[in-house]
Structure 1
Amino acid sequence: MKLKLTLVLLLFCAFAKAQTAATTTITPAHLKAAEDVLLAAKADAMFKSSMETMLAQASKSIPEDKRTKFIEVMNAFMVKYISWDTMKDQMASLYAQNFTEKELKDLAVFYRSPLGLKLNEKQPLLLQKGAELGQQAVQGHQVELQQMMQDAFKQ
Protein backbone atom coordinates (compact mmCIF):
# COMPACT_ATOMS: atom_id res chain seq x y z
CA MET A 1 0.00 0.00 0.00
CA LYS A 2 2.79 2.44 0.93
CA LEU A 3 4.60 1.66 -2.30
CA LYS A 4 1.47 2.34 -4.36
CA LEU A 5 0.88 5.63 -2.55
CA THR A 6 4.50 6.63 -3.06
CA LEU A 7 4.30 5.82 -6.78
CA VAL A 8 1.06 7.78 -7.16
CA LEU A 9 2.60 10.77 -5.38
CA LEU A 10 5.73 10.59 -7.53
CA LEU A 11 3.67 10.41 -10.71
CA PHE A 12 1.50 13.29 -9.53
CA CYS A 13 4.57 15.42 -8.76
CA ALA A 14 6.12 14.60 -12.13
CA PHE A 15 2.84 15.46 -13.87
CA ALA A 16 2.49 18.71 -11.91
CA LYS A 17 6.09 19.63 -12.74
CA ALA A 18 5.50 18.90 -16.41
CA GLN A 19 2.32 20.98 -16.38
CA THR A 20 4.16 23.87 -14.70
CA ALA A 21 6.97 23.69 -17.22
CA ALA A 22 4.46 23.61 -20.07
CA THR A 23 2.53 26.62 -18.78
CA THR A 24 5.62 28.74 -18.22
CA THR A 25 6.61 28.92 -21.88
CA ILE A 26 7.16 32.59 -22.54
CA THR A 27 6.57 33.93 -26.01
CA PRO A 28 8.22 37.12 -27.28
CA ALA A 29 4.82 38.87 -27.11
CA HIS A 30 4.38 37.73 -23.50
CA LEU A 31 7.83 39.03 -22.58
CA LYS A 32 7.12 42.31 -24.41
CA ALA A 33 3.92 42.69 -22.36
CA ALA A 34 5.97 42.17 -19.18
CA GLU A 35 8.49 44.79 -20.28
CA ASP A 36 5.60 47.19 -21.00
CA VAL A 37 4.25 46.71 -17.47
CA LEU A 38 7.65 47.54 -16.01
CA LEU A 39 7.84 50.63 -18.20
CA ALA A 40 4.28 51.73 -17.34
CA ALA A 41 4.89 51.12 -13.63
CA LYS A 42 8.09 53.16 -13.79
CA ALA A 43 9.81 50.14 -12.29
CA ASP A 44 13.24 51.59 -13.01
CA ALA A 45 12.61 54.60 -10.76
CA MET A 46 10.91 52.41 -8.17
CA PHE A 47 13.83 50.01 -8.19
CA LYS A 48 16.33 52.86 -7.74
CA SER A 49 14.26 54.36 -4.94
CA SER A 50 13.94 50.99 -3.19
CA MET A 51 17.69 50.43 -3.38
CA GLU A 52 18.34 53.91 -1.98
CA THR A 53 15.87 53.32 0.85
CA MET A 54 17.41 49.94 1.72
CA LEU A 55 20.91 51.42 1.65
CA ALA A 56 19.85 54.35 3.84
CA GLN A 57 18.27 51.94 6.34
CA ALA A 58 21.30 49.62 6.31
CA SER A 59 23.77 52.45 6.69
CA LYS A 60 22.10 53.63 9.90
CA SER A 61 23.58 50.60 11.66
CA ILE A 62 27.13 51.40 10.46
CA PRO A 63 29.34 53.52 12.74
CA GLU A 64 29.34 57.11 11.55
CA ASP A 65 33.07 57.17 10.83
CA LYS A 66 32.66 54.23 8.41
CA ARG A 67 29.28 55.15 6.95
CA THR A 68 30.51 57.19 3.98
CA LYS A 69 32.88 54.44 2.84
CA PHE A 70 30.17 51.80 3.38
CA ILE A 71 27.75 53.74 1.16
CA GLU A 72 30.45 54.24 -1.46
CA VAL A 73 31.29 50.52 -1.59
CA MET A 74 27.64 49.45 -1.60
CA ASN A 75 26.82 51.88 -4.42
CA ALA A 76 29.72 50.53 -6.51
CA PHE A 77 28.57 46.97 -5.85
CA MET A 78 24.96 47.76 -6.72
CA VAL A 79 25.93 49.53 -9.95
CA LYS A 80 27.91 46.45 -10.95
CA TYR A 81 25.47 43.70 -9.91
CA ILE A 82 22.10 45.06 -8.81
CA SER A 83 21.38 48.03 -11.07
CA TRP A 84 18.16 48.30 -13.03
CA ASP A 85 20.11 47.73 -16.25
CA THR A 86 21.45 44.41 -14.95
CA MET A 87 18.11 43.29 -13.49
CA LYS A 88 15.39 44.51 -15.90
CA ASP A 89 15.43 41.50 -18.23
CA GLN A 90 15.24 39.13 -15.29
CA MET A 91 12.41 41.17 -13.79
CA ALA A 92 10.47 41.08 -17.08
CA SER A 93 10.94 37.31 -17.21
CA LEU A 94 9.76 37.01 -13.61
CA TYR A 95 6.61 38.98 -14.38
CA ALA A 96 6.00 36.90 -17.52
CA GLN A 97 6.30 33.71 -15.47
CA ASN A 98 3.74 34.91 -12.95
CA PHE A 99 1.17 36.70 -15.09
CA THR A 100 -0.54 35.83 -18.34
CA GLU A 101 0.01 38.05 -21.33
CA LYS A 102 -3.52 39.46 -20.92
CA GLU A 103 -2.97 40.16 -17.22
CA LEU A 104 0.22 42.00 -18.08
CA LYS A 105 -1.58 44.10 -20.67
CA ASP A 106 -4.28 44.90 -18.10
CA LEU A 107 -1.61 45.87 -15.56
CA ALA A 108 0.01 48.22 -18.07
CA VAL A 109 -3.37 49.90 -18.64
CA PHE A 110 -3.81 50.24 -14.87
CA TYR A 111 -0.37 51.79 -14.34
CA ARG A 112 -1.15 54.37 -17.03
CA SER A 113 -4.52 55.22 -15.43
CA PRO A 114 -4.90 58.11 -12.95
CA LEU A 115 -4.96 55.67 -10.02
CA GLY A 116 -1.90 53.82 -11.32
CA LEU A 117 -0.07 57.12 -11.76
CA LYS A 118 -1.00 58.08 -8.20
CA LEU A 119 0.26 54.73 -6.93
CA ASN A 120 3.58 55.29 -8.72
CA GLU A 121 3.84 58.75 -7.20
CA LYS A 122 3.09 57.55 -3.65
CA GLN A 123 4.97 54.25 -3.76
CA PRO A 124 8.47 55.51 -2.79
CA LEU A 125 7.11 57.28 0.28
CA LEU A 126 5.00 54.26 1.19
CA LEU A 127 8.02 51.96 0.89
CA GLN A 128 10.14 54.31 3.00
CA LYS A 129 7.46 54.66 5.68
CA GLY A 130 6.90 50.90 5.64
CA ALA A 131 10.62 50.28 6.17
CA GLU A 132 10.59 52.76 9.05
CA LEU A 133 7.60 51.01 10.62
CA GLY A 134 9.42 47.68 10.40
CA GLN A 135 12.56 49.16 11.91
CA GLN A 136 10.55 50.74 14.75
CA ALA A 137 8.83 47.42 15.46
CA VAL A 138 12.17 45.63 15.72
CA GLN A 139 13.71 48.39 17.84
CA GLY A 140 10.69 48.45 20.14
CA HIS A 141 11.13 44.75 20.85
CA GLN A 142 14.88 44.39 20.40
CA VAL A 143 15.49 43.03 23.90
CA GLU A 144 12.87 40.34 23.38
CA LEU A 145 14.32 39.47 19.96
CA GLN A 146 17.82 39.20 21.41
CA GLN A 147 16.51 36.90 24.15
CA MET A 148 14.66 34.77 21.61
CA MET A 149 17.87 34.43 19.57
CA GLN A 150 19.90 33.53 22.65
CA ASP A 151 17.33 30.91 23.66
CA ALA A 152 17.16 29.48 20.14
CA PHE A 153 20.92 29.05 19.84
CA LYS A 154 21.57 27.61 23.31
CA GLN A 155 22.97 24.10 23.12
Structure 2
Amino acid sequence: MKNVLKILPAATLAVGLALSVTPAMAQQAAPKAAAPAQKASPAAIAAAKEILQIKNASGMYAGAVPGMVEKTKIALIQQNLNYQKDLNEVAPIVAQQLAGRQSEIGDGMAQIYANEFTEQELKDLVTFYKSPLGKKLIEAEPRAIGASMAFMNSWAHEFAETVMGAFRAEMRKRGKEV
Protein backbone atom coordinates (compact mmCIF):
# COMPACT_ATOMS: atom_id res chain seq x y z
CA MET A 1 0.00 0.00 0.00
CA LYS A 2 2.85 2.38 0.84
CA ASN A 3 4.38 1.75 -2.60
CA VAL A 4 1.14 2.77 -4.24
CA LEU A 5 1.00 5.92 -2.13
CA LYS A 6 4.54 6.81 -3.22
CA ILE A 7 3.68 6.43 -6.90
CA LEU A 8 0.19 7.92 -6.73
CA PRO A 9 1.13 11.61 -6.36
CA ALA A 10 3.48 11.61 -9.35
CA ALA A 11 1.07 9.56 -11.44
CA THR A 12 -1.82 11.83 -10.51
CA LEU A 13 0.19 14.91 -11.37
CA ALA A 14 1.30 13.42 -14.69
CA VAL A 15 -2.26 12.48 -15.61
CA GLY A 16 -3.54 15.88 -14.53
CA LEU A 17 -0.91 17.67 -16.58
CA ALA A 18 -1.60 15.45 -19.57
CA LEU A 19 -5.33 16.08 -19.34
CA SER A 20 -4.88 19.82 -18.96
CA VAL A 21 -2.55 20.00 -21.96
CA THR A 22 -4.55 17.68 -24.23
CA PRO A 23 -7.44 20.09 -24.97
CA ALA A 24 -5.03 22.90 -25.79
CA MET A 25 -2.98 20.61 -28.01
CA ALA A 26 -6.13 19.35 -29.72
CA GLN A 27 -7.24 22.91 -30.39
CA GLN A 28 -3.82 23.78 -31.80
CA ALA A 29 -3.60 20.60 -33.85
CA ALA A 30 -7.11 20.86 -35.30
CA PRO A 31 -6.35 23.55 -37.90
CA LYS A 32 -3.18 21.75 -39.00
CA ALA A 33 -4.98 18.44 -39.28
CA ALA A 34 -7.54 19.98 -41.62
CA ALA A 35 -4.85 21.28 -43.97
CA PRO A 36 -2.71 18.67 -45.71
CA ALA A 37 0.95 18.77 -44.72
CA GLN A 38 3.09 20.42 -47.35
CA LYS A 39 6.25 18.80 -48.61
CA ALA A 40 9.17 20.59 -46.99
CA SER A 41 12.05 21.79 -49.11
CA PRO A 42 15.30 19.83 -49.09
CA ALA A 43 16.98 22.84 -47.45
CA ALA A 44 14.37 22.86 -44.66
CA ILE A 45 14.83 19.12 -44.11
CA ALA A 46 18.62 19.59 -44.04
CA ALA A 47 18.33 22.40 -41.48
CA ALA A 48 15.95 20.31 -39.36
CA LYS A 49 18.38 17.38 -39.46
CA GLU A 50 21.19 19.71 -38.44
CA ILE A 51 19.16 20.91 -35.46
CA LEU A 52 18.45 17.34 -34.44
CA GLN A 53 22.13 16.47 -34.82
CA ILE A 54 23.20 19.49 -32.74
CA LYS A 55 20.69 18.50 -30.04
CA ASN A 56 21.87 14.86 -30.24
CA ALA A 57 18.30 13.70 -30.80
CA SER A 58 19.56 10.38 -32.14
CA GLY A 59 20.53 9.51 -28.58
CA MET A 60 16.82 9.25 -27.78
CA TYR A 61 16.24 6.49 -30.31
CA ALA A 62 19.66 4.92 -30.86
CA GLY A 63 18.55 1.69 -29.20
CA ALA A 64 15.10 1.58 -30.78
CA VAL A 65 15.73 -1.40 -33.07
CA PRO A 66 17.44 -3.67 -30.53
CA GLY A 67 14.94 -2.56 -27.91
CA MET A 68 11.97 -3.43 -30.10
CA VAL A 69 13.54 -6.75 -31.07
CA GLU A 70 14.07 -7.59 -27.38
CA LYS A 71 10.55 -6.51 -26.44
CA THR A 72 9.05 -8.61 -29.24
CA LYS A 73 11.23 -11.59 -28.33
CA ILE A 74 10.06 -11.42 -24.71
CA ALA A 75 6.41 -11.21 -25.78
CA LEU A 76 6.84 -14.19 -28.11
CA ILE A 77 8.60 -16.21 -25.41
CA GLN A 78 5.73 -15.51 -23.01
CA GLN A 79 3.29 -16.83 -25.61
CA ASN A 80 5.51 -19.73 -26.75
CA LEU A 81 7.58 -21.01 -23.82
CA ASN A 82 8.65 -24.09 -25.80
CA TYR A 83 10.38 -21.86 -28.37
CA GLN A 84 12.52 -19.89 -25.93
CA LYS A 85 15.83 -21.33 -27.19
CA ASP A 86 14.90 -20.71 -30.82
CA LEU A 87 13.60 -17.19 -30.16
CA ASN A 88 16.82 -16.33 -28.29
CA GLU A 89 18.81 -17.54 -31.31
CA VAL A 90 16.59 -15.73 -33.84
CA ALA A 91 16.62 -12.37 -32.01
CA PRO A 92 20.19 -11.38 -33.06
CA ILE A 93 19.42 -12.37 -36.66
CA VAL A 94 16.31 -10.18 -36.69
CA ALA A 95 18.22 -7.34 -35.02
CA GLN A 96 20.93 -7.55 -37.68
CA GLN A 97 18.37 -7.66 -40.51
CA LEU A 98 16.66 -4.53 -39.19
CA ALA A 99 19.79 -2.64 -38.05
CA GLY A 100 19.77 0.98 -39.12
CA ARG A 101 16.00 1.31 -39.34
CA GLN A 102 16.08 3.75 -36.40
CA SER A 103 17.24 6.35 -38.95
CA GLU A 104 13.59 6.39 -40.07
CA ILE A 105 12.79 8.01 -36.71
CA GLY A 106 15.31 10.77 -37.37
CA ASP A 107 13.94 11.31 -40.87
CA GLY A 108 10.41 11.51 -39.49
CA MET A 109 11.44 13.94 -36.78
CA ALA A 110 13.19 16.14 -39.36
CA GLN A 111 10.03 16.16 -41.48
CA ILE A 112 7.97 17.17 -38.43
CA TYR A 113 10.35 20.03 -37.63
CA ALA A 114 10.29 21.09 -41.28
CA ASN A 115 6.48 21.13 -41.19
CA GLU A 116 6.37 23.12 -37.94
CA PHE A 117 8.95 25.77 -38.86
CA THR A 118 9.73 27.67 -42.03
CA GLU A 119 13.01 27.09 -43.76
CA GLN A 120 14.27 30.46 -42.50
CA GLU A 121 13.18 29.70 -38.93
CA LEU A 122 15.07 26.42 -39.07
CA LYS A 123 18.18 28.18 -40.34
CA ASP A 124 17.80 30.75 -37.55
CA LEU A 125 17.51 27.94 -35.02
CA VAL A 126 20.68 26.34 -36.36
CA THR A 127 22.44 29.68 -35.92
CA PHE A 128 21.03 30.00 -32.41
CA TYR A 129 22.05 26.50 -31.34
CA LYS A 130 25.57 27.19 -32.60
CA SER A 131 25.74 30.43 -30.58
CA PRO A 132 27.17 30.50 -27.03
CA LEU A 133 23.66 30.78 -25.55
CA GLY A 134 22.36 27.97 -27.75
CA LYS A 135 25.26 25.74 -26.72
CA LYS A 136 24.57 26.58 -23.08
CA LEU A 137 20.88 25.71 -23.56
CA ILE A 138 21.76 22.34 -25.06
CA GLU A 139 24.17 21.63 -22.21
CA ALA A 140 21.98 22.90 -19.35
CA GLU A 141 18.50 21.94 -20.52
CA PRO A 142 18.69 18.24 -19.56
CA ARG A 143 19.74 19.22 -16.02
CA ALA A 144 17.02 21.86 -15.84
CA ILE A 145 14.40 19.38 -17.02
CA GLY A 146 15.65 16.74 -14.58
CA ALA A 147 15.59 19.20 -11.70
CA SER A 148 12.13 20.38 -12.75
CA MET A 149 10.83 16.81 -12.81
CA ALA A 150 12.36 16.16 -9.37
CA PHE A 151 10.73 19.34 -8.06
CA MET A 152 7.35 18.33 -9.55
CA ASN A 153 7.61 14.88 -7.96
CA SER A 154 8.53 16.36 -4.59
CA TRP A 155 5.72 18.90 -4.82
CA ALA A 156 3.25 16.19 -5.83
CA HIS A 157 4.26 14.03 -2.89
CA GLU A 158 3.89 16.89 -0.41
CA PHE A 159 0.65 18.07 -1.99
CA ALA A 160 -0.77 14.54 -1.91
CA GLU A 161 -0.25 14.57 1.85
CA THR A 162 -2.05 17.92 2.04
CA VAL A 163 -4.95 16.55 -0.01
CA MET A 164 -5.07 13.40 2.13
CA GLY A 165 -5.18 15.57 5.26
CA ALA A 166 -8.04 17.61 3.82
CA PHE A 167 -9.99 14.44 3.00
CA ARG A 168 -9.42 13.04 6.48
CA ALA A 169 -10.51 16.31 8.11
CA GLU A 170 -13.69 16.46 6.04
CA MET A 171 -14.46 12.79 6.72
CA ARG A 172 -13.88 13.31 10.48
CA LYS A 173 -16.54 16.05 10.33
CA ARG A 174 -18.86 13.29 9.12
CA GLY A 175 -17.77 11.00 11.92
CA LYS A 176 -15.77 8.67 9.69
CA GLU A 177 -12.09 7.85 9.87
CA VAL A 178 -10.24 7.14 6.66
TM-score, normalised on structure 2?
Answer: 0.46
Query: Structure 1 residue 102 and structure 2 residue 102: aligned?
Result: no
Residue 35 of structure 2 corresponds to which residue in structure 1? 20
Residue 43 of structure 2 corresponds to which residue in structure 1? 29
The CA deviation at 1:18 is 9.5
The 5 A counterparts of 1:134-153 are: 134-143=152-161, 144=163
Where structure 1 has 5 or more consecutive residues not aligned to the other structure, the ranges are 1-15, 49-72, 148-155
Q: What is the number of residues matched between the two proteins? A: 103
- Measured on the aligned residues, the alpha-carbon RMSD in Å equals 3.7
Higher Rg of the two aligned structures: 2
Query: Structure 1 residue 117 and structure 2 residue 135: aligned?
Result: yes
Superposed CA offset, 1:34-72 (max 9, x none): 101112233334x37xxxxxxxxxxxxxxxxxxxxxxxx
Distance 1:18 1:133 in 2: 35
The 5 A counterparts of 1:2-81 are: 20-21=35-36, 24-45=38-59, 47=60, 77=71
**Secondary structure at 1:141's aligned position in 2?**
helix
The answer to whether the Cα contact below 8 Å between 1:41 and 1:108 also exists between their aligned partners in 2 is: no
Query: What one-letter code is carried by the residue in structure 2 that aligns with 1:134?
Result: M
What is the identity percentage for the equivalent residue pairs of Structure 1 and Structure 2?
A: 33
Where structure 2 has 5 or more consecutive residues not aligned to the other structure, the ranges are 1-30, 62-66, 72-97, 168-178
The answer to whether the Cα contact below 8 Å between 1:29 and 1:101 also exists between their aligned partners in 2 is: yes
The answer to whether the Cα contact below 8 Å between 2:41 and 2:119 also exists between their aligned partners in 1 is: no
Query: What one-letter code is carried by the residue in structure 1 that aligns with 2:134?
Result: G
